[in-house]
Chain A
């Protein structure tokens, strides 16, 4: 146990601490010009400790100090009612629901595509290059337009945002699943043939089970990217609700602390989602007896 701590946790914590120190340094450095200006205007005497203290207490700092962001998150999660429009939990839930819907649709689409690609060679040659090309379209960049257009057609609310997530998340799933479905050893496939199994028996008893580890690896990428899609999808909705809307309204009104707290919440959400997929993967692997 202590060995694991020293091997894994200690290096990570060291780097995190280093990042915090650098962050604090930049907070002072970036906020100092405005503060010095203030001192000059009010003709106050100041020492270095004053400067450090004051630069970390701005209302709209260029770069907020970590503890300011944490305090803002604390204020908007624990101290606000969940239903309040100013609660970050409320906004996170809105983003999370479209993330999950998009992720589920993307996973389904990706798996279906992968099955077609593996089972039919014409599909493989026709679809695969276009699946790769589809991701060179900067969908995140045109997400706002797609949302506006879908709203015009009458699709509003959760679904347009989820569609952006779907478009982003089907790709890693499709690519990973194709790799997984093709991963069985040719020897095993030959063995199945000697058992005279049909194409579908081969698929369900050999190909599908061996693709599961690949599927979970892809799902980790897909769920993180779904979250990004949902956040960007919220940007054009007129800053109504969701983490993306918090980002946008923060940038409109120069509320840097609000931007950073939304960013940090999104980061935490991403971490939690990836961890959840990881746990699901471990449970499934244990049930299937996948070697570690």
Chain B
């Protein structure tokens, strides 16, 4: 084991020891078992034992122990959190970290794609985020009007599916998709037109860069005044927000092909359209996907914020602003979860598409 691994192991064992000493009479059997396991694991630090029983230092053992301890803590949450329970929670987390650390060390020299490392480790980290969120909110008795525990939000997600679907449809399927398509599409076409003239490109690039840095979201109230309360005004905000990043990126992408490549196309006597489709656009794809990914989050933000300035009685932004007023924070967080899920899904889909289309890019050819 490396230095960091030994440190983690020792710290976990100390936490377990503290829990055993402090709460021997008060703890539930499950917690006592967890604390005992953690303390026993501390014995691995003696070099004799580790050499004799190689199985005790495998990462799977740490994973199982951390999950047992986490489960015991979650089961005991409702009875209030004593110092001993916190110690076990921390020990559980340290063992989880230890498991990840060991998995990483085993994987360090491996080549190729490893599902456990690429997907399992991030999910495991997410599990610990939710675990501590749950433990802190319930254990410290934080009022649910300030921060509801994840379990309550999850329950809300299941019971209010109909409302969430309607809001999702209004905000995402109508406003965001329409605005995103129009904004990115028109910016793409205009960038191609502007690119034909050197003069226009020199003018549009700095101005587009400047406007991309502006708080464009401020036009939301104006758009609501102009286009009314329904989804059209939200789509208009999304169009404006997505237009400039897309235009700037497409413009820089179109000039990304090197002079050598352009010369080659000239010697082939390639026409404008041939150069555009076979050289410039493929070379611009990494830039275009960059803009598409940035815009996928911007579009969602634009549509939701625009709903704060006036909306029919449906939509993610509308629900967030009204349910905050009614102190239903679990509903608000459920809407946020839906929005985050939609955002992550679009981002992920775009990343996959990017990988398929720009497979030639150096960043995808190395590990």
Interface residues of A (CB under 8 A from B): 7-8, 11-12, 14-16, 19, 62, 120-122, 125-130, 132-133, 135-142, 144-145, 148-149, 152-153, 220-221, 224, 227-228, 231-232, 235, 247-248, 250-251, 254, 256, 259-260, 262-263, 266-267, 270-271, 274
Contact = CB atoms under 8 A, between A and B. Distances in A.
B84 interface: no
Given A141-B339, A152-B146, A232-B215, 8 more contacts: A11-B199, A125-B104, A126-B100, A130-B125, A145-B332, A251-B222, A254-B225, A274-B213
B218 A224 contact: no
Interface string B313-350: 00011001100100001001000100110011001000
Contact of B219 (A127, A141, A263): A263
Given A138-B343, A270-B215, A122 B304 contact: no
B267 to A, nearest CB: 28
Nearest to A15: B203
Given A228-B215, A274-B213, A11 B221 contact: no
B221 A250 contact: yes
Contacts of B219: 263
B122 interface: yes
B218 A263 contact: yes
Interface residues of B, number: 58
Contact of B320 (A15, A125, A142, A247): A142
Interface of B: 4, 97, 100-101, 104, 108, 117-118, 121-122, 124-126, 129, 145-147, 199-204, 206-207, 210, 213-215, 217-219, 221-222, 224-226, 296-297, 300-301, 304-305, 308-309, 316-317, 320-321, 324, 329, 332, 336, 339-340, 343-344, 347
B147 A149 contact: yes
14 contacts: A8-B202, A11-B199, A125-B100, A136-B340, A136-B347, A141-B300, A144-B308, A148-B324, A224-B213, A232-B305, A251-B221, A259-B218, A266-B215, A271-B210
A141 B203 contact: no
B336 A142 contact: yes
Contacts of A247: 218, 221
B218 A125 contact: no
Contact of B200 (A11, A128, A153): A11
Contacts of A14: 199, 203
Contact of B203 (A12, A130, A224): A12
A62 B225 contact: yes
A16 B317 CA distance: 34
Contacts of B4: 120
Contacts of B217: 140, 228, 231-232
A274 B212 CA distance: 12
Contact of A121 (B104, B339, B347): B104
B63 to A, nearest CB: 13
Given A125-B118, A136-B297, A267 B214 contact: yes
A254 B201 CA distance: 37
B22 to A, nearest CB: 30
Query: Which of B118, B200, B340, B347 has most A Cβ within 10 Å?
Result: B340
Nearest to B206: A12
A148 B326 CA distance: 12
Contacts of B343: 136-138
In the A-B complex, list the 9 residue pairs whose CB atoms are closest, starting with the nearest. A136-B343, A11-B203, A141-B304, A251-B221, A126-B125, A15-B203, A11-B202, A224-B213, A129-B122
Contacts of A7: 202
B122 A138 contact: no
B213 A144 contact: no
B160 to A, nearest CB: 17
B136 to A, nearest CB: 14
